[in-house]
Homo-oligomer: A and B are copies of this chain.
Amino acid sequence: MKHLASLAFLAPISLAWSLPAAAQEAEEPATPTSVIAAAGADEWIAIAPEDLLVMDLAPDARGNARRVVIQLMPPPFSQPWVANIRTLAAAHWWDGTSVNRVQDNYVTQWGDVTEAKPLPEGVVSPMAEYTVQWCNYHVCPALPPVGNLGRRLTSEHGWNSFVEGWPIGELEGRSGAWPIHCYGAVGVGRNMAPDTGTGAELYTIIGQPQRHMDRNLAVVGRVIEGMEHLSSLPRGHGELGFYTEEEADLRVPILSVRLGSELASASSSEAVGQQESTPRYEYLDTAGQSFARYVAVRANRNDAFYTVPAGGVDVCSVQVPVRRAE
């Protein structure tokens, strides 16, 4: 058996970032991969180009391009910050800024290292809440249950579910709902409260998600492609993982950040770095049958490799499948 020792170690699980398209044979036990592969075309929902933020970092040491694609948070969540981010991208504000902080098991953060670059007019820290009054938007439903898991989609607080493709938390009593900081979530750096941040300074989660960040910082999106270009960077050794002046050359230059809609318009292609256009993406409908089955299989792995099902799954262990559209 030894020759299989490494390759057989685990069935692939990082499905959200790269989806193997191969169909599984019917007689094999269901795995997250096989459930997603079997989902119908009508269960995939297109992501609009205007909801994509495309960040091109400077090439790596081997000259490979490094593109990070972020899906922006839809209403009703975090919209004042998302509006700022659209303004900043349209102004090409991030061009020439850099990745400045990489704290192990926590966050990678990028923005203007000089902290002196003027912001576009109107981009200010909003007087806004991280938790939205859910009933204002959705006729006060409970968050939808997923499959037969019930409360086994665990969390520290209240109820968790997926709404229109996003992991969402809800207080007991339905008094408010908020997007959850999972791996790859993109949030807004800020000063001490009551500052809320503008969106010019962004971070993404590169380790164990910390639920104490929820409801204290604005989640404005998630990385749907190129996460490795942020998660595998050398860690910083200054306070909070910022690169020190001695490590200043580790700061990765940001060549450009564009909305997908700007890239999609042919006239703007000269403004882009090494890549001319952005592909289209789609996510698996979180209200559909395949997603419910995917969650159930995630919670109860029972195949040739996993023989003891967990019986439950953390909401952040259920990455919503996202893939490139054909």
A312 at the binding interface (Cβ < 8 Å) = yes
A321 within 8 A of B: no
Interface residues of chain A, those whose CB is within 8 Å of chain B, are 1-10, 12-14, 17, 61, 100-107, 109, 111, 113, 115-116, 130-131, 152, 154-157, 182-184, 189-193, 195, 197, 200-201, 203, 206-212, 214-216, 227-228, 231-235, 239-242, 298-299, 301, 304-314, 316-317, 319
Is there contact, CB below 8 Å, between A8 and B155? Answer: no
Are A154 and B152 in touch, CB under 8 angstroms?
A: no
A40 to chain B, nearest CB (A): 26
Min CB–CB distance A82 → chain B (angstroms): 18
Q: Please, which residues of chain B bring their CB within 8 A of the CB of A210?
A: 13, 317
**With contact pairs A1-B195, A192-B305 given, residues A9 and B212 touching in the complex (Cβ less than 8 Å):** no
Asked if residues A182 and B208 are in contact (CB atoms below 8 Å), the reply is yes
Say whether A183 contacts B154, CB under 8 Å.
Answer: no
Are A17 and B105 in touch, CB under 8 angstroms?
yes
Of the listed residues A7, A156, A157, A241, the one surrounded by the most CB atoms of chain B closer than 10 A to its CB is: A156
Which chain B residues border A13 with CB–CB below 8 Å? 106, 210
